[in-house]
Structure 1
Amino acid sequence: MPVRKLLSGLIGGMTPAGRFRHACRLLERADHSVRGFARLGQMAGSGMVAAQYQVACAYLDGIGVPRSPLEGMRWMHRAASAGHVEACFSLALMLLVDPPGQDGADSLLPTAWPEGIDAWPDPVAATHWAGQAARAGLPDAQALYGYLLATGPESVRDPEAAGIWCARAAQAGCPQGDLALAVNHLCAPDQPPGSNPGAVAALLRAAESGLPTAQYMLGLLHERGWGLSPDAAEAEKWYARAAAGGVRPAQARYGVMLLRNGRGNSRAIMAAETWLRRAALAGDREAAALLGDLHACGKAALPGDHEAVTWYRMAAEHDHAVACRMLALLYIQGRGVASDPDQARDWLQRAAVLGDVAAMTDLAATLLDRRDTPPATPAQAAAPLPDFRAMAQAGDPVAAFNLAVSLHRGVGCAADPAQAAMWMERAAEAGVVNAQYWYGRMLLAGEGISASPSQARHWLERAASHGLPEACIAAAQARLEGYGGPRDHAGALAFYHRAAEAGRGEAMFSLGAMYGGGHDVPPDRTQALHWFTRGAQAGNALAQFMLGRYLAQGLAGPVDRAQARHWLAQAVAGGVTAASAELDGMMLADDHAAP
């Protein structure tokens, strides 16, 4: 008798339970999984509940059959409805998370839920199914049921029952039960965190058993002294373990503690950034905002304004008020992005709506800067400017800056140059970069204060060190002319580079002029042509004029008279009178050269 026929006869003579076990073994083998699934599918269709559960798992995992969340949910619901304990528990877990493929990775997303499923996720239905599995004696389900009774929607909450079910799971040796006990205590509104020694002991057991969420919570208790003596070293240890386990808040807290305890150590900063990045990329807005701070303040391992913009934007898009304000300031200063007052005002508006008081005052300053521009909406026209004096007198440096602007321009109050200079100095001393620039300009012009070229240069360069484009240009000019200190053409060149990289066309023109010769830096006409080209493309009329000259005369490459005429014409339109004569000369030469 052939072997295949013999095996077929033996399998055919098996009991249903034997055939089920054999099909499961086939499913586990990669080379026979399709056959195993086919046999389980037949049994599931005939009503075998255990097979229905296995078919559901196969569809969800894509074993022996193409992955399908819809079919997985349908068979899981069928098995759970028939009383399969593990299916009830699995269905509860499934209903607590978003459907697979919410990120667009799964093209088999259901357009309609299986019969009996009204929504997904559905914490109320999840509580029902967890309860069925819990009453059947499954410890993990008891822990989940207790957790949902403690923290779920109001319609299912029952703190007393939550404690009972969490205790049952814990008594059965289930770490999740210990965790649920601790969570139930921490969520209780009438008990200070950590005040229940039993809950703290349960949390410790859950953490030591390897549950990352419990490890994170234990780190919190150690850090904040909830039921335990404050212990930063223990907190850091537990945060580290939870961070390695993928707990996003733990990654953020661990990064913060590494920064705090590293005291500027470069290796600690790099490790901290690594964990903060993981948390931020997983959606932690506080971590993203902190990364923005590190880069904006130059404390990151490799600081960069573009990085600061990226992280602040990530936090701001998750409604982090301070990140919205900081992103606006970068747009104002042109750090990491081209200077854009409209973008700055939009982000300040968002920060103000989120309740950031400093953003409200910054927003007022941007409105002051645009006092001659008609308001975009009637609401903007009707909006009164806030009274900055009280906040400034209370020590708010941004309010001091805004008050100084108001007094300087006589907007919302009588102009008072001396008072404006006094408040601007206070804001500058407190580190407000825009105030440092403004105060430098006041000292240059002697507005409300005796002119002091050396002090003006000092404040302009402080503002320029933060990358404020206007300050970079003014500081470069002071160094170029030796105003308020010795001439320093190399230093001027560096400041012009910062302003140019922020998109300022006048700085691009100045770089072209410096590289073109006649300054205490090595001439480089290739660089001059590069910066004149960038300045011309940015709309600077003088750069357009010089680019036309370079192209007409071939000063840094081949002659291109057509392009030269184009840029000279642009310069003429921009008001450069010398360009008109240059253009006329070119046209006259072309006429003489014509046959």
Structure 2
Amino acid sequence: MRKLLSGLLDGMTPAGRFRHACRLLEDEGHSARGFARLGQMAGAGMVAAQYQVARAYLEGSGVPRSPLEGVRWMHRAASAGHVEACFSLALMLLVDPPGQGGADGLLPAMWPDGITAWPDPVAAAGWAGQAARAGLPDAQALYGYLLATGPDSVRNPQEAAAWCARAAQAGCPQGDLALAVTHLSAPDQPPGSDPDAVAALLRAAESGLPTAQYMLGLLNERGWGMARNTAGAEEWYARAAAGGVRPAQARYGVMLLRNGADSPRAIMAAETWLRRAALAGDREAAALLGDLHARGEAALPGDHEAVTWYRMAAEHGHAVACRMLALLYVQGRGVAADPAQARHWLARAAALGDAAAMTDLAATLLPEVSPGTAPPDGVCIDFRPMAQAGDPVAAFNLAVSLHRGMGCAPDHAQAAVWMERAAGAGVVNAQYWYGRMLLAGEGMVASPSQARYWLERAASHGLPEACIAAAQIRLEGHGGPRDHAGALALYHRAAAAGRAEAMFSLGAMYGGGHDVAPDRAQALHWFTQGAQAGNAPAQFMLGRYLARGLAGPVDMAQARYWFAQAAGQGVAAARAALAGMAVADGHNA
């Protein structure tokens, strides 16, 4: 009898009809009928029904999804004082409008009256405050958070702490998180210095809030308010990463790459988490993925993958990724070699403050600049203010600009002054340039001994160009004694860095005529390496070795091929060798 009376009352009272319509909406087979009944009640002014209609439109439950209608009904319910609607509208106003970018995206003209902008944290604070004062703990946590971190017009640290505490006392994990954030973001105290804030963060993390888990990972990793605990940080990052927190995914990926005694590197797992973070827009994760592929450390390394990830990070303003992408364009790794693209990305990196990119930019731009003209691609950086302020990299770039006359008349004397400053400050490229200028007497009296000193300093850092120049000086005995063994070692360093002219020089040294034991097998090897790298003299010498069988069997077909390659690059002796072979072929015929 009681069940029968309850059913009759449900059908007779507005509250009963509302409950019945909500049950129908939740039933997939009857959701459209439930929405239709709720719509009638909402239109008649029932505020609770208006809130449910708003949710249905936003979720596409019982009716085709319509963010515009959802916002209109949510705003109507909130304006009537519905607590959950106020809270929901506050949350919505903190992110982009529902449906933005799609066919049903909201336009300003369609926003309900009273909403003038979107996102609007100020308006969000107003709606959250209304719901908070009505006693909703989640709204109290949100309101406290906005009072602590929102725009200046709503910020109130004292009120923020009070509202966060009320939410936390009500058992709301978001209240604990907001309470922790208000303390941790305070400018007048170091992170983690408030034990109550750390305790609140721990409660929020243990309750399952991913953001709190990420923040607790940071405290553990950096030793804020607690002893540094790498294992604990990794555990909290893992939990937050699984909860979808992008920075946690990136940090967890980084920690998986660390190679500790108790935690060997987990490359594939690290890549998985870094990839998730990168695809969600984390530029550091994208740059790190580029590094893994460029260095061949990824599970399945590939230069094309390195280009993809570096480009993603670079487009998000990552300076080092811009420089690394430029380097791949220079080397033609994973992408066709393209000097213009290399300059473009170096310019981006330099504009973002990357000192190494500024050095590389000068080195790539200036060789193409005629004295007194502007650089290509419209790139023009004024290095003088930074140089005068003591920046050694800027001093180097200013020196190169003055030497080459980038946008001005060349001034070798001033170039020498700035180049010496940069070289003395340890800029390796400047040491190489200053050595060359001393050798040629550009802007100063020539000094072979000083040139040798600076070139060898640059070579000691592995700069390939400096290794080649220093090797040549040692071979010829400029500025000091001849040292063919030392020159050989320097050529090896440059060849290992991929310099084809060094490969040719190694072949020449091993071929004889130097204070190095002749080794024609080694000579053939290095001439082959240089030839394949496109060095014309190496191609000619390889053709000669193959034609004469100087280090193995005669191979006239291959000799003819390499002579032709060298001749195509303008080597007259190669053209003569080809002509001689043609004459010999005619006599043999």
Give, as a single letter, the amino acid of the residue that structure 2 aligns with 1:114. Answer: W
Q: CA contact under 8 A between 2:293 and 2:303: conserved in structure 1?
A: yes
What is the CA deviation profile of residues 34-55 of structure 1, one whole-angstrom value per residue up to 9, with x for unaligned ones?
Answer: 2222222222222111111111
Match of 1:192 in 2: 190
Shift of 1:302: 3.5
The aligned residue for residue 365 of structure 1 is 363
| Aligned-CA RMSD value | 4.3
1:296 and 1:404 map into 2 onto residues whose CA distance is 32
Structure 1 counterpart of 2:103: 107
Whether the aligned pair in 1 keeps the contact of 2:527 and 2:538 (CA below 8 Å) is no
Moved more, 158-167 or 364-373: 364-373
Change (3 A) 1:238 1:410: farther
State the Cα distance separating 1:414 from its structure 2 match. 6.2
Matched, 1:294 2:292: yes
Amino acid at match of 2:237: Y
Letter in 2 for 1:423: W
CA distance in 1: counterparts of 2:202 and 2:135, whole angstroms: 24
Distance 1:382 1:122, change over 3 A: farther
- TM-score, normalisation: structure 2: 0.76
Question: How far off is 1:543 after superposition?
Answer: 6.1
8 Å Cα contact 1:185-1:196 kept in structure 2: yes
Which residue does 1:563 correspond to in 2? none
Aligned to 2:224: 226
Instruction: Output the CA distance in 1 between the equivalents of 2:537 and 2:218.
Output: 50
Check 1:349–1:19 CA distance in 2 against 1; reply closer, same or farther (3 A cut): same
Deviates more, 1:289-298 or 1:27-36: 289-298
The farther-off stretch of 65-74 and 482-491 is 482-491
Tell me the equivalent position of 2:503. 475
Bigger shift: residues 18-27 or 370-379: 370-379
Aligned counterpart, 1:586: none
CA distance in 2, matches of 1:521, 1:68: 80
Aligned equivalents of 1:240, 1:367: Cα separation in 2: 45
- The separation in 1 between residues aligned to 2:437 and 2:277, in whole angstroms, is 42
State the 1:173 CA deviation.
0.8
Deviation by residue 1:307-341 (Cα, 9 ceiling, x = unmatched): 33322222222222222223233333333333333
Alignment of 1:229-244 (within 5 A): 229-244=227-242
| Equivalent runs, 1:309-320 vs 2, <5 Å | 309-320=307-318
Structure 1 residue 20 displacement after superposition: 1.6
Q: Does residue 345 in structure 1 map to residue 376 in structure 2? A: no
Q: Give 1:218 shift.
A: 1.0
TM-score if structure 1 supplies the norm length? 0.75
Q: For residue 27 of structure 2, what is the aligned residue in structure 1?
A: 29
Matched letter for residue 28 of structure 2: A
* Distance (Å, rounded) in 2 between the aligned partners of 1:317 and 1:10: 64
Q: 1:522 to 1:210 in 2, by over 3 A?
A: farther
* CA pair 493-110 structure 1, distance change in 2 beyond 3 A: farther
Matched to 2:458, the amino acid is A
How far has the Cα of 1:57 moved from its partner? 1.2
Compared with structure 1, are the counterparts of its residues 204 and 264 closer, same or farther at alpha carbon in structure 2 (3 Å cutoff)?
A: closer
1:215 to 213, 216, 235: 213
Match of 1:120 in 2: 118
The answer to whether structure 1 residue 423 and structure 2 residue 422 are counterparts is no
Once the two structures are superposed, residues 346-371 of structure 1 have per-residue CA deviations (whole angstroms, 9 ceiling, x without a partner) of 22222222222232222222244234
- Which residue is equivalent to 2:385? none
Please give the per-residue CA displacement for 1:356-403, whole angstroms capped at 9, x wherever unaligned: 223222222224423447424595504997934334333343443454
| 1:141 corresponds to | 139
Q: Could you tell me how far apart the structure 2 residues matched to 1:408 and 1:60 are?
A: 75
Aligned mates of 1:451, 1:332 — CA distance in 2: 34
| Structure 2 CA distance for partners of 1:232 and 1:438, relative to 1, 3 Å | farther
Q: Which runs of structure 2 are paired with 1:426-465 in the superposition (5 Å)?
A: 426-432=457-463, 435-436=466-467, 458-463=489-494, 465=496
Contact 2:87 2:127 in 1 (8 A): yes
Q: Can you list the C-alpha shifts for 1:223-266, whole angstroms capped at 9, x where unaligned? A: 11111011111112111211221211112222222222447987
TM-aligned CA deviation for residue 110 of structure 1: 1.7
Change in 2 beyond 3 A, CA 1:463/1:131: farther
Relative to structure 1, is the Cα distance of residues 168 and 14 closer, same or farther in structure 2, using a 3 angstrom cutoff?
same
> How far has the Cα of 1:79 moved from its partner?
1.1
Q: Could you tell me which amino acid in structure 2 is paired with residue 43 of structure 1?
A: M
Task: Give the whole-Å Cα distance in 1 for the aligned partners of 2:56 and 2:538.
Answer: 63
Instruction: Indicate if the aligned counterparts of 1:142 and 1:166 stay in contact, CA closer than 8 A.
Output: yes
Quick one: which of 417, 422, 425 aligns to 1:394?
A: 425
**1:239-278, aligned counterparts within 5 Å?**
239-262=237-260, 268-278=266-276
Residue 152 of structure 1, aligned match among 122, 145, 150: 150
CA distance in 1, matches of 2:448, 2:20: 92
CA distance in 2, matches of 1:401, 1:459: 14
Q: 2:279 aligns with which of 275, 278, 281?
A: 281
> Secondary structure, in 3 states, of the residue corresponding to 1:89?
helix
Structure 1 match to 2:322: 324
Unpaired segments ≥5 residues, structure 2: 1-6, 381-405, 580-589
Unpaired stretches in structure 1, ≥5 consecutive residues: 1-8, 536-540, 547-570, 582-595
| SS of structure 2 residue aligned to 1:210 | coil
- 1:521 is displaced (CA, Å) by 11
What is the rounded CA distance, in whole Å, between the counterparts of 1:522 and 1:68 in structure 2? Answer: 80
Select the residue among 59, 64, 73 that pairs with 1:61: 59
Partner in structure 2 of residue 86 of structure 1: 84
- Deviation of 1:544 after TM superposition, in Å, equals 12
Cα distance, 1:473–1:125 mapped onto 2, change above 3 Å: farther
Are residues 369 and 169 of structure 1, via their aligned partners in 2, closer, same or farther at CA, if it must alter by over 3 Å? same
Aligned amino acid, residue 301 of structure 1 = A
Query: Quick one: distance in 1 between partners of 2:46 and 2:442?
Result: 81
Q: Percent of counterpart pairs with the same letter?
A: 64
Amino acid at match of 2:123: A
Contact 1:365 1:402 in 2 (8 A): no
Contact 1:56-1:72 within 8 A present in 2 as well: yes
1:381 counterpart SS class: coil
Q: Specify whether residues 19 and 295 from structure 1 end up closer, same or farther in structure 2 by C-alpha distance, changes over 3 A only.
A: same
Change (3 A) 1:368 1:51: same
Shift of 1:434: 5.3
